[in-house]
Each structure stands twice: as structure tokens, then as C-alpha cells.
Amino acid sequence: MTATTDGSPGSPTHRTPSASSTSEPDPVPPGATEAAARRAVGHATDHLLARQHADGWWKGDLETNVTMDAEDLLLREFLGIRDDKILAASARWIRSQQREDGAWATFHGGPGDLSATVEAYVALRLAGDDPDEAHMSLAAKWSRGEGGVAGSRVFTRIWLALFGWWSWDDLPELPPELIYLPKWMPLNIYSFGCWARQTIVPLTVVGAHRPVRPAPFGIDELHINPEQPSPKRRKAPITSWDGVFQRLDQVLHVYRRVTPRSVRRSAMNACARWIIERQEADGCWGGIQPPAVYSVIALHLLGYDLDHPVVRAGLDSLDRFAVWPEEGVRMIEACQSPVWDTCLAAIALADAGLPADHPALLKSADWMLGEQINRPGDWSVKRPQLAPGGWAFEFHNDNYPDIDDTAEVVLALRRVAHPDQPRLDAAVERAVRWNVGMQSRNGAWGAFDADNTSPFPNKLPFCDFGEVIDPPSADVTAHVVEMMAALGLEHDPHARRGIEWLLAEQEDNGAWFGRWGVNYIYGTGSAVPALAAAGLPASHPAIRRAVSWLRSVQNADGGWGEDLRSYSDQEWAGRGHSTPSQTAWALLALLAAGERDSAAVERGVRWLTDTQLEDGSWDEPYFTGTGFPRDFSINYHLYRMVFPLTALGRYVRDEPFGAGHPGSAAVAAAGGSTGKGA
């Protein structure tokens, strides 16, 4: 067992993590920091080039938490396709992630999570671990102390219901007839974020069938009171939204009992068609594991046998989410990120000084050009007249291109001197038109859909598994603005509205909230370079407030870090162990703000050069990516490479906005730092 405790900065024993230090840094000979940065850039460039796939792409492991591994094993058990080798290898990974107190966390160094612990526990029971073994007894005791199974999330209890460990009657109801709601009506499937709708549609089928395939053991030890596993919960007042939706759930339970069979059958068939129409070329759904798992179960319950081509392809796709970090150990990725990793790697290498016509950049550009999506997807429900042209995150996900990837791919492509420039220019033009067309009414951009801001989906009792809508965010909006600025479109009305929205969204402390990365450091590291590239001077009050905040949260060791708990507790904002990616994000913002010669930048650069490993990479066990704030966290294993290389490359080349951006030369000509030595 690899024990992890809750002793990170800000834990009960270290409630105030170290941030800015008033002590003077050790004296550094003139030019020594820049020389070290140049050496680090060379080593990191070599390391990243060596990791490129022969086809031109990069992909790092995408690590989340053990619920992915547990649910993979539960799926195999439910379908009767148990594989003892896979079961043993996955169990080794699950055991290795257990904390000393018996729980499992959802991110490195984080607190124990009840749902993750319950799912890990039952998966290990399937693997043959005895409840009397020390690690199992400790996990059960911890779970009971946190409320037992009854306190776990709805999705966890759905998995338990599949095996008879929980009653379907004690789960929220969501009927398959939801598929019939018109697009203008609240709670229609398109009012959910794309990841949620892909999960909810198959789960309505599963909930309608209420299957039970009894497990060979019970889990009474996970209940506070096995005689009454589901205690009655007090209803919220009818005058509150929680009270309204609790009573709506009661109505839906009654509706289930009176629904005509023909209506129910028709609705489930409509769900099946919706699911099958969205299966990708590789057999997956949306390129992410959870919808694929539930879609396979739903279709199987509807009579599709395991050898049916649709189900077979779905099962095969799930095998591709498996990573074997060492012999006999198997970890499941929730998703794979080749497009995202490739565009970020290309940007990093170009900004580090790799020639624009270098074979590695040309191969990456060719691969990215081949991945552009030129057909409509679910996004076209809100934008039916908009021509396609975006990129997705994964290898295969034509239904759900995203605005963030598209912006970063464009930023990568414009750094490449491609031999077929008209082809590249045409792809960029399509991408920019699509991204601009996905702007929401408030002037900002979400990740996958426009105006996906209904307040109702998050209030359903069924939807306690994380964010289920896709409102605009500062980091995505910043990347679109940065893309437009790089193409000379910073004065376009769409860009100006995005800039105005960003300025209005700045927090009182000077930071920006980071939706898809942790958290305020990511948001600020995205917003400042975008605003500066779009023409805001370094003296602008918004830029100065951001610089002041970043200085205030710099750790004593010179790096920056932020714990995921900042999504729930403002005391954690900008606080945590220094990490390579978060240090790089802070440096990118400071460099864009004209702070190249400041003490803060020098100390941050020194932290990166001092912590670089011999092979040119960095170590980063902490999770700095975000799936759902507060609920689902990600460790992108390539972040530790691409972002430090980007920041160090811009530092040594004195190009604060990256390779070839005209704003870089303007900042350098203006004398660089506005806060020298501060």
C-alpha cells in the first residue's frame, strides 16, 4: 500500500501554507539564471522530441482516481466478462492508491472521498480481498464514519444497485421519456453539458430496467445500520429549489408506475437510436470512459448481445483506456488527450526556439490538420447555421469538438512554416469562424456548447456527480481571445466583447477563476497573456492587480502551487506545494505583463531549473487539471513538460506572447518589465 496523508499545505496541521517570502533570495551571479534556463530548455526540448509518436502526435497519461478502475471491474462483473488477469492488475493499482487512514482520495494529497472509497472497496472484494484484512477493515470503518453507503453519491449507489447492494427505489428517478422534451423546454437533454447528456441518456435506460445481478457477497460492513441502509431524509422546504426538485422526484417515481409500456418502450428505443448515432469511429462515446460504460450497459439491457458490432466495438474501445504503469499493474484513464497534448507540445517547442519548419513541428501540424472536424455535432443544436471546423480533445470524438482545443490548435498551427500554406490557412479560417460562432450571448465562451447555462440541471437530485452544465469560463474565453489576437483580430467586435467579459470577471484579489485547470493560478495564467496580447498595456489596472496577486502567492521556494481545495475554500486560492505546471502558468502571466526582469520571475525560473530532472523532464505528482471543480480532478502527465518548456522558452527568447507574435517585439522594445526588481 502506498500511503498518502493529508499533510499538504493548508491541512489541519499546516493551515497557512507558505507563500511570498520577505527574506532575500540567495545572490545569483549576473546571467546565471538565464544560462541555467537555456540549458533547461535544451534538455526539455530533447526530452519532448523523443516522446513524439511516429504519426506526429504526443499523448501523456491522464490520471484521475480509482473510481475509473473500480467501475471498469464492476462493468465486467455485471456483463459476465470477468478477466482474472485484469482483475488482479487493477486491484494492485487500487490498493496502491489507498491512504493510511483507509480511504481513497480523488487527487494526490487530497482528503478521503466517500464514494471513491466505497467503489474501491467493492472492487477489491470482487478481487478476493477479505473484509477482515487490515486495509479492508480500515476502509470500511472510515466509510461508516463518513455516513456509509447512504452518504455516497448517486452514481456510486447506481453501481451498487446493479448488484443488489442498494435498492433502486431509493435512487432518484430520471425517465427515458426525457429524450422527447423539445429543445426549448427546461431539462431537455441539450440543456445538460455534453459530458452529462452522454451519461444521462443511457442511464435513463438503465434506471428504467432496474437490473439486479446479485453479487456473491454482501457489504453490510459499509452501512452504519445494515437493517436500515437507506435512512429517510428530511425534505427541504417547498419554497426552495431543493424542495421543488425533491418533490419532482417523487412525482417521477409515481410516473414510473403508471407509464404505459408502449410509451416506455418507444422512449427507450429513441434513447438507443440517440446512443448509437453518437458512437465514434473507434467504438467509444465522446472519447470518454463513463458514457461508454453506461452506453454499453444500456444497449445490453435493450437486447444487444455482447457480440453485436456496436457493443463489441464499445467494449474494445474501453480496453484502450488501460495504461500499464508497471508490470502487472493496470490503471484506467477517464479520457485520452492527444489533440490537447499535441498542440501544447507544438507551442512549447516553437516557443523554445525550434525552427518553424522543423520536421517534428511539420509532422505535428499534418496530424492536427487531419484531425479537424468538418461535420456537425451536438453543438449545432444551438448553432444550426454555423459551419463546422473545430478540433476535439481525443483521437476520435467528432460529435463534440471543443472551443478550447480549437483555439490552442490554431495557436500551434500559426507557429509552423508548412509547405502547403493554403491548406493550413484554410483550416485556420474554418476554425476561427467556428470558434467565433460559438460565442455565448454574454460575450464569453464555454468549452463545448454555446449558452449552455440553464440553472435547472444542477438542481436535479440525480445530478450530484459534478458540474452538469457548460457555462462560459475565463480560461476558455482567454484562449479564444489570445487566438484572435495572434491572428490580428484583437479589434474584432467578438474579441472586444470577450475582453470586456474577462475584465468584468476578474476577482477582487486580482486573479481569475480557472474552470479547466487548478485554479486561480490557471485562470490568471490564461487571462493575463490573452489580455496583454490583445493590446492591454502592462500598466492597465487589471494587469497590475493580477501581477500583485501572483507575487503575493509565490511560495518561499520560488515556485507556485495551488491545491484543488481552492474550488471550495478561498483560503486555498494560490496556495499549495509548488508544481512545474502551476509555476509555469504564473511565469507566463508575469512575462506577458512585462515582468521578465523582476525578482519574482527570476525566482520562478530558478525553481524550474533547479527541479528539472536529469532526463529533461519534471516530476509532478499533484493534480493540476480539472474535470469538474470540487468533484473530478486530473493529473495530465504531459503538463509537467509542456508548460515549463513554454515558460522557459519565452523567458530565454524574450518573447512574452510566444514565437512570432508581434506583441512580443513591442514589449521588448518598450523596455520589458514595468516592475523591475519588485
Active site residue ranges: 404
413: Cα within 13 Å, side-chain hemisphere: 33
C-alpha span between 199 and 275 (Å, rounded): 10
What Å distances lie between residue 17 and 13, 21, 111, 441, 521, CA to CA?
Answer: 10, 11, 16, 40, 15
Q: 255: closest CA among 320, 350, 177?
A: 177
Residues 6+ apart with CB under 8 A from 659: 350, 351, 353, 356, 415, 653
Q: Which residues pair with 635 in a beta bridge?
A: 63
Helix 520-533 × helix 493-505 angle, to 10°: 140
Contact present, 434 and 390 (Cβ < 8 Å) = yes
Phi, psi of 546 (to 5 degrees): -65, -45
C-alpha span between 201 and 63 (Å, rounded): 26
Phi, psi of 8 (to 5 degrees): -75, 165
C-alpha span between 270 and 289 (Å, rounded): 22
C-alpha span between 279 and 41 (Å, rounded): 41
Q: 48: closest CA among 649, 659, 658?
A: 649
Helix 194-209 × helix 261-277 angle, to 10°: 140
Q: Which residues pair with 332 in a beta bridge?
A: 322
DSSP state of 509: T
Q: Residue 653: how many CB atoms within 10 A of its CB?
A: 17
Q: Is 101 helix (H, G, I), strand (E, B) or coil?
A: coil
DSSP state of 675: S
Q: What is the DSSP string of 179-227?
A: GGS-TTSTT-GGGS-HHHHHHHHHHHHHHHH------SS--GGG-S-TT
C-alpha span between 202 and 204 (Å, rounded): 5
Contact present, 123 and 73 (Cβ < 8 Å) = yes
Element (H, E) at 322: strand 322-326
Helix 474-486 × helix 421-437 angle, to 10°: 140
What Å distances lie between residue 185 and 188, 343, 466, 648, CA to CA?
Answer: 6, 38, 22, 50
Instruction: Tell me the one-letter amino acid at 152.
Output: S
Element (H, E) at 331: strand 329-332
Contact present, 295 and 226 (Cβ < 8 Å) = no
